[in-house]
Amino acid sequence: MPGEQRSPVHVAFRTWDAASEPLESVEARIHDGVPLDQLRARAAGYLEIFHRPYPHARVARQPEVMEIGSGVGYVMEAALHRYRPSRIVGLDVAAGMIQKARERLRRDGVDHPGIGFAHYDGVHAPFPDDSFDLIYSVASLQHAPRPYCFRALMEAYRMVRPGGTVFIHLLACSHFRRHMTPELFRAEIDRQIAMREGHWHHYYSADELDAVARQGLGIRSPGIRELGGSLYLYFSK
């Protein structure tokens, strides 16, 4: 909330700052090796997957939209085409990544008067209650330490308007089973214990998210779907 004391930047967030890194290097590093010419289709696909199992999830006409963890803005660009928002805000823990997003949008000729960005300390999002019709997050919160992920869910629930929609994408435990090895796991745990910069990864189960949504946030009817090693969480206020 405005006026609240900002929290120290967690080391897990620093790897995303990228202020001195060339844009092309950032794009390659944060998108899991997906070719640049496929990033727009990938971004649009995430939004489609969100809606497919929840046809009752309505988005207001010309909504005010927020993305948590907006990276260099490809999903924001897809949201511009899909939702025709009056305003869309990219919330990110890294000021340097916001700089790269603005650079990327300029480079690719993406211009919309409602595009904006806001820096987030991982605890207090700088917007009042009931500010947005739609809040979503794609392939971002799994890199935040678990308490920060859950705090982001709390902030999303606080900021979404009554009748609004929240969509969250996270890595599922099935992804861990499919891709993890003892060597990778040791490196992941050592990185987190030593508090080193890098891509931290956290994995979630449907039961855990359901419990967090119901008992932790007070949401009566969350929706959770697992697909291809990912979990898609839906809720409304």
Token digits of residue 6: 């900002």
Kindly give, in sequence order, each residue whose CB lies less than 8 Å from that of residue 202, ignoring residues fewer than 6 positions away: 142, 143, 144, 145, 146, 149, 170, 171
Q: Structural domain of residue 44, as residue ranges?
A: 11-236
Averaged pLDDT for residues 100-118: 97
> Mind listing the pLDDT tens digit for each residue in 115-132?
999 999 999 999 999 999
Q: How many domains does the chain have?
A: 1
pTM exceeding the 0.85 threshold for the entire prediction: yes
Say what percent of the chain tops pLDDT 70: 97
**202 within domain boundaries:** yes
Q: How far apart are CA 26 and CA 70, in angstroms?
A: 13
Averaged pLDDT for residues 153-159: 98
**215 within domain boundaries:** yes
3-state SS of the chain: helix, strand, coil percent to 5? 40, 20, 40
**52 within domain boundaries:** yes
The amino acid occupying position 49 is I
| C-beta neighbour count of 85 within 10 angstroms | 24
**3 within domain boundaries:** no
**193 within domain boundaries:** yes
Give the per-residue pLDDT at 6: 59
> Mind listing the pLDDT tens digit for each residue in 36-65?
899 999 999 999 999 988 888 889 999 999
CATH at 102 = 3.40.50.150
